[in-house]
């Protein structure tokens, strides 16, 4: 990222103190759920504004109202640069006003190239044979240069690293508003709905630089995140939602981390226990021997009973593939898993066999690989054990419901209605359902990939406690994550990967956020093969 701030200028003039966006009394009701209750929010010109709140507090609903996806309940008002705008907005309103969105899935077309994604609108609008590719390439390159984005235009988006995909989506969003802003001389607004999960620190730093450049040009950014440290670092002000209402609006520089937590969850969090300096000794549990796959060097590990082991590294290091290889969810070319003296060949492992051995996997891409959105919360929680609920050939629905309700209470699923389809829950709440599903089975080995991504700060602490409690009873855990703070909280040992092999093992007092982060970056020094 080398672009100078001046190059991004939209020449947006401050509008005599008018906020760029002002929402007043916005409500949205889904049958019995009041997802938004008279929300008022103001984003000023040139401001990076945070939007925080627990899972289900209404953040995505608010963005969907702004994106024209949901019509709000009658009675709310919206102004943009002082102009009264009627809701719901249409796609022509976004362009005219200068609003663009980056949703969690980034909205890129993976099988198309960088250039095609950047110039999609121009390409789609050009009639038949008349597309001037030479001009499109020149325009595309000018955009990449303007933002200092060093990626080949002809590369397919699904070949890019996660960092570059996120940067491309944000660059495209800013480009969408730039021309309009230049024409009207008024600032625009880019809305970012959690674009940073999974990104390593270096990727987040590049994203933040881009956001600051957008703000310096006079336009504004609305940034949704569960990561309080990120919000404290990048935003000027923040609005916090709780149960659909605004629980606070803060100048970030004058708020503390604890102030933020109280506004988000309505109480303070108990301090995390101090770690001991001693590495703990564990009774022998399971062993993985020489598991291998394309891009993964032979990997062996003894996991003690009740031991929690973290796997980490920078993106592309390969650590996040290990849980899937052990569970048989992606093919291993060699290796064994030893349980109770029995050796199971990993190339022949399948998820069904893994479940029969009482292994559990919570995948990172939960939408695609885990829950069934159209089924109820109860079905999603209890599906793997459905046979337990048959008596005399009849399914005991009430028993299933009660058990799902109990689990929902324990994991703070909101709303805790076992009959609701999973699709009706917010992203973080759906994730709690899936975590509850596997924890309930008390697996012998729990395999996790980014277990608390998208989960709010209060529930995150509960999930950490639940993992610790199950580990006390002998459950072993292998957790792949790029979240150093999470690993420091839950792990007894952390293995750092680079280029498909372990390059460092951290134990005892080394299992701290700073040590883990440093070890990931040190691993990069010897790495000569990182993805684009």
Ligand X SMILES: Nc1ncnc2c1ncn2[C@@H]1O[C@H](COP(=O)(O)OP(=O)(O)OP(=O)(O)O)[C@@H](O)[C@H]1O
* 335 is a site residue for ligand X (CB under 6 A): no
Distances in whole angstroms, Cα of residue 354 to Cα of each of 247, 323, 350: 45, 11, 6
Nearest CB to ligand X, comparing residues 457 and 520: 457
Q: Interface mask (CB under 6 A) for ligand X, residues 15-54, using x and -?
A: ---------------x--x-x-----------------x-
Name the residue among 412, 398, 466 with its Cα closest to residue 438: 466
Using CB under 6 A as the binding rule, the residues of this chain from 493 to 532 that contact ligand X are: none
Residue nearest to ligand X (CB): 428
Nearest CB to ligand X, comparing residues 10 and 429: 429
Q: Which of 425, 488, 495, 496 binds ligand X (CB under 6 A)?
A: 425
Distances in whole angstroms, Cα of residue 105 to Cα of each of 110, 153, 162, 340, 461: 11, 21, 11, 42, 26
Nearest CB to ligand X, comparing residues 61 and 235: 61
Distances in whole angstroms, Cα of residue 125 to Cα of each of 121, 130, 131, 135, 390: 6, 10, 9, 15, 57
Nearest CB to ligand X, comparing residues 100 and 453: 453
CA–CA dist 131, 140 (Å, integer): 14
Using CB under 6 A as the binding rule, the residues of this chain from 53 to 82 that contact ligand X are: 53, 55-61
* 429 is a site residue for ligand X (CB under 6 A): yes
| Residue 70: CB minimum distance to ligand X, A | 8
Nearest CB to ligand X, comparing residues 60 and 100: 60
Nearest CB to ligand X, comparing residues 316 and 428: 428
What does the CA dihedral 409, 412, 415, 416 come to, rounded to 10 degrees?
-20
* Selected range binding ligand X among 41-49, 87-95, 116-124, 425-433, rule: CB under 6 A: 425-433
| Residue 414: CB minimum distance to ligand X, A | 6
What secondary structure does DSSP assign to 301-313, as a single string?
Answer: EEE-TT-EEEEEE
* 260 is a site residue for ligand X (CB under 6 A): no
Nearest CB to ligand X, comparing residues 98 and 427: 427
How many residues are recorded in the chain?
532
166: Cα separation from own chain's centroid? 12
Residue 143, C-beta contacts closer than 8 angstroms, at least 6 positions apart: 118, 171, 175
* Selected range binding ligand X among 250-258, 294-302, 395-403, 424-432, rule: CB under 6 A: 424-432
CA–CA dist 458, 429 (Å, integer): 12
Which structure tokens are listed for 327? 């569970």
Count CB neighbours of 338 within 10 A. Answer: 15
- Count CA atoms closer than 13 A to 17's CA, side-chain side: 0
* Selected range binding ligand X among 80-88, 147-155, 418-426, 522-530, rule: CB under 6 A: 418-426
Q: Which of 415, 458, 474, 508 binds ligand X (CB under 6 A)?
A: 415
| Residue 310: CB minimum distance to ligand X, A | 24
Instruction: List residues near ligand X by CB under 6 A.
Output: 30, 33, 35, 53, 55-61, 414-415, 424-429
């Amino acid at each position: 990222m080398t672009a100078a701030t001046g190059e991004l200028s939209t020449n947006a003039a401050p509008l005599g103190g008018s906020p760029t966006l002002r929402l007043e009394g916005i409500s949205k009701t889904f049958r019995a759920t009041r997802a938004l209750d008279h929300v008022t929010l103001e984003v000023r010109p040139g401001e990076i504004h945070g939007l925080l709140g627990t899972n289900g507090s209404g953040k995505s609903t608010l963005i969907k109202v702004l994106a024209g996806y949901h019509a709000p309940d009658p009675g709310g008002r919206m102004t943009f640069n002082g102009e009264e705008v009627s809701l719901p907005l249409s796609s022509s309103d976004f362009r005219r006003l200068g609003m663009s969105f980056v949703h969690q899935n980034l909205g890129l077309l993976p099988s198309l190239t960088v250039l095609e994604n950047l110039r999609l609108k121009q390409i789609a609008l050009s009639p038949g044979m008349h597309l001037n590719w030479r001009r499109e390439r020149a325009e595309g390159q000018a955009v990449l240069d303007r933002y200092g984005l060093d990626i080949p235009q002809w590369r397919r988006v699904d070949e890019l690293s996660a960092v570059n995909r996120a940067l491309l989506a944000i660059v495209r969003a800013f480009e969408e508003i730039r021309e309009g802003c230049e024409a009207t001389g008024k600032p625009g607004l880019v809305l970012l709905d959690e674009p940073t999960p999974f990104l390593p620190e270096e990727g987040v730093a590049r994203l933040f630089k881009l956001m600051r450049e957008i703000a310096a040009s006079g336009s504004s950014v609305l940034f949704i995140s569960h990561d309080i440290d990120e919000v404290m670092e990048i935003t000027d002000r923040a609005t916090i939602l709780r149960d659909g209402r605004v629980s606070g609006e803060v100048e970030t520089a004058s708020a503390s981390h604890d102030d933020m937590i109280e506004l988000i969850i309505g109480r303070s969090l108990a301090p995390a226990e101090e770690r001991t300096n001693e590495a703990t000794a564990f009774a022998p549990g399971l062993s993985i021997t020489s598991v291998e796959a394309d891009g993964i060097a032979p990997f062996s590990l003894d996991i003690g009973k009740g031991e929690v082991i973290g796997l980490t590294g920078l993106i592309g290091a390969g650590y996040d593939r290990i849980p899937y290889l052990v569970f048989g969810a992606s093919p291993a070319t060699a290796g064994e898993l030893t349980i109770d003296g029995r050796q199971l060949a990993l190339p022949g492992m399948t998820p069904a066999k893994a479940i029969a051995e009482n292994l559990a996997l919570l995948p990172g891409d939960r939408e695609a690989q885990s829950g069934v959105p159209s089924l109820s919360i109860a079905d999603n929680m209890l599906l793997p054990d459905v046979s337990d609920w048959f008596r005399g050939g009849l399914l005991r629905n009430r028993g299933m419901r009660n058990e799902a309700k109990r689990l929902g209470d324990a994991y703070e699923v909101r709303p805790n209605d076992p009959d609701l389809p999973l699709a009706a829950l917010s992203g973080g709440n759906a994730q709690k359902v899936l975590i509850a599903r596997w924890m309930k089975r008390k697996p012998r080995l729990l395999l996790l990939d980014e277990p608390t991504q998208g989960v709010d700060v209060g529930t995150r602490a509960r999930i950490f406690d639940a993992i610790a409690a199950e580990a006390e009873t002998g459950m072993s855990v292998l957790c792949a994550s790029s979240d150093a703070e999470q690993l420091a909280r839950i792990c007894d040992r952390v293995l750092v990967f680079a280029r498909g092999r372990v390059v460092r093992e951290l134990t005892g007092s080394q299992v701290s956020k700073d040590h883990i982060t440093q070890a990931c970056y040190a691993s990069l020094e010897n790495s000569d093969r990182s993805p684009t």
